[in-house]
Structure 1
Amino acid sequence: MKSILLISAPAASAPLLAAIEKAGHRLAAALTSFADLSRLGEASDFDLIIVAVDALDDAALALLAELHRRRPCPLVVFTQDASRARIQAAIGAGVDAYVIGGFSPERLNPVIDVATARFNESRVLQRKLALAQDKLDERKLIERAKGMLMKLRGISEEDAFRALRKEAMDKNLRMGEVAARIIAVDDLLWPRNVASTRGKIPNLERN
């Protein structure tokens, strides 16, 4: 059972409300204007959005995109607008199912199932991309920390890598975390504005 936020033209509200109830879903809120989204509180309890309008203009898509960013969930649009540009804009706004030809009760649950599946696939892909970026960032940190150890200790790249790995194992940390700590300490002790003396011990003369 889904908890649905419905945004529809007044003429389409009655058949949609009846279909939602018949399909066993719960209506969280029903709006007849995109302007009403501004009064939708964060406490509103919905896990799917259905929009039923003849066409979506740029302002409506912008509001939907912002809502989808704040409250990610499957987003379904029933519309008469078959223009390619509008379809692409809707997908960019986060629409998971863009149904041309308007609403019909028998299509409700199949469309919800498709939108939910696409939304879940998109979330998995986003997590994979974020993980890949994290790994790339971690590799960059490790390479930078290795370079610091090689320079300061006069050791090879292989020995620097082994030192990082040993420290990570001893402290039960990821190598990226160890690398980040080394870089943080280095930046603290040798700020960029004194980079020319980094890694060197200054000569101190007694007065």
Structure 2
Amino acid sequence: MQLNTLKPAEGSRKVSNRVGRGIGSGLGKTCGRGVKGAGARKSAHKRPGFEGGQMPLKIRLPKFGFWSPKADVTAEVTLNDLNRIEGDVVDMNALLAARLISKKVKYVKVVLSRVPNFTKKITLKGLGCTKGAKAAIEAVGGTVEIAQYTTDAAARRELSNKKSAAKQKTRLDNLAAVGKVKPAKKTAEQKAAKKAARG
């Protein structure tokens, strides 16, 4: 072995093309970059999805739906699943012990099953509940204590509706008192002065 015979393993290093070595090489003059334009410059950094100035695909396609940040920490439990819980009180800890929800879940709503088969008398605490599931639980003698976050959300929604209604009423009252006011027409002198100011 000699120093002048040492070389890297086959395929471990890719040989780069040496551009700008004459027209006969195929990569001379423009060096494979074409003629002028953004791609021919030294720092032609184009953002992902750039299509040369035309409307990119990500903007041409319509937008739909939304992403809810609460979706990953929210779960639904059917009414029939509550039959698997031991004890009379159903809360987050009971659902976690019965492996109906995971540890990351913070919000739970009990929904009515397609074929209701619930006959257990329970007390639902700290959970959301649909109208159908609440009626089914109360029909067998159970009680439902709605979660605090559900009542808070309902209160916020009601307050928002009241504020919107008050704004709308104020707007209509002002319109009824003053009427629809049109902007005053400009006189010939004002038009001439504006034209002169423009030059």
Question: TM-score when scaled to structure 2?
Answer: 0.25
Select the structure with the greater relative contact order (CA < 8 A; seq sep ≥ 6). Answer: 1
Structure with the greater alpha carbon radius of gyration: 2
| Higher percent of residues as helix | 1
